[in-house]
Amino acid sequence: MSLNDVVISGMSGRFPLSDTTDELAKNLFDGTDMITGDDTRWPIGIYSTMKYNQGLVVLSKLNDLNLNDICPRMGKIMDCNRFDSSFFGLMEQMVDEIDPQARMLLEITYEAIADAGINPQELRGSQTGVYVGVSIYAMTDGYPEDIQPDLRSSLQSAMLQTTANTKTFYASRISYVYDFKGPSMIVDTACSAGLSAMTLAMNDMRLGHIDNAVVCGTHMLFEPFIYQFQQELNICSPRGVAAVLDREADGFVKGESVCCVFLQRRHNARRIYATVLSSRMNIDGNKTVGMYFPSAEAQEELMVKSYSEVNVDPLALTYFEAHCTGTKAGDPQELKAIYNAYCKRPGRTEPLPL
């Protein structure tokens, strides 16, 4: 243990049926199903007349599913419309156009810093970095229909809507509002975007480039066709059921989240949730099975390097938070990597809970 260790000193977030991290914890401990099949995002049965029973698809066989429709079951943030623009000193005209995720990122950054026992005003002008993990889908929005036919005459509206909704500015807007002077960037590595953002923040903390870091991850779904094509490809389950480690696995179920952790060095922290010992990332490189098929070997290599560089005994691990996508390709490869890195290689004799 060192006074320069990087620690998580504050956290906050919005989650399905949970407006705070405490509410999320309570729902998890109570076994609450936070996956809902309502019409808060788009009308149920938007592409067909398939019948749903409270959002759960009623099927006798998996093959009975009409893949032209969208199963509405997903974990949704329920309250995403409220925002106090004056609190953050933003123009009301622009705030009306800002993506709800961007608004919530400002809120949870404030809450995470306050959770660390710090007044955010104390950090103005500081070397605080902002790293936001987000997945960007191409061509989901386009120009709004009311301005597209006559774009030149609606240039101001187009500018406001474009700049307000561009995900590139998720991090920059946080740095602007709070007057942070450190690096400010979004990170898009698909499912791993949030942890990739954490790795970049950790690297800058270790190198002494920054004194604190705001690390966020965000994903909300407002475009129905994204969920449609992901269900058709069995990336997401067309049944709305995450059958993890199951032979009936046909994809994961999306869950929305806008969350933030605040990183400090131990000697500056007023509270400590956890110490971040290691954070690394890699990629499979070229392989004969194609770019999208996961590699157990690459995952195992990363796990071993992660615990070896900080001299952590893999046998000391008592719990593993796995990715477990609920896909026939992803789950077996990940389990193979975990087994090899934390069980077979070190000679584990006790079970490792996932």
How do residues 32-57 score in pLDDT, each as one tens digit?
999 999 888 888 877 764 444 545 44
User: Residue 138's pLDDT band (boundaries 50, 70, 90)?
Assistant: low
| Predicted pLDDT at 226 | 85
> Are the C-beta atoms of 15 and 272 separated by less than 8 Å?
no
User: Residue 81's pLDDT band (boundaries 50, 70, 90)?
Assistant: confident
CA separation for the pair 4, 276 (Å, rounded): 11
Percent of the chain residues topping a pLDDT of 70? 86
CATH class in words for 6-36+73-220+256-277: alpha beta
Mean pLDDT over each residue of the chain, to the nearest integer: 87
| Predicted pLDDT at 1 | 74
Query: What integer is the mean pLDDT of 222-229?
Result: 84
Strands 128-134, 184-187: pairing kind = parallel
| Predicted pLDDT at 7 | 98
| Predicted pLDDT at 166 | 72
* Domain locations along the chain: 6-36+73-220+256-277, 282-354
Residue with tokens 């001299």: 311
> Are the C-beta atoms of 170 and 218 separated by less than 8 Å?
yes
| Predicted pLDDT at 61 | 39
| Predicted pLDDT at 140 | 53
Residue 94 main-chain phi, psi, to 5 deg: -80, -35
Using the predicted structure, report yes or no on whether residue 62 has a pLDDT greater than 50.
no
Identify the CA nearest to 98 among candidates 165, 170, 13: 165
| Predicted pLDDT at 154 | 60
How do residues 196-219 score in pLDDT, each as one tens digit?
999 999 999 999 999 999 999 999
Higher pLDDT, residue 142 or 229: 229
How do residues 236-255 score in pLDDT, each as one tens digit?
999 899 999 998 999 999 99
Using the predicted structure, report yes or no on whether residue 233 has a pLDDT greater than 90.
no
Would you tell me how many other CB atoms lie within 10 Å of the CB of residue 105?
28
Give the contacts of 318 (CB within 8 A, at least 6 positions apart). 352, 353
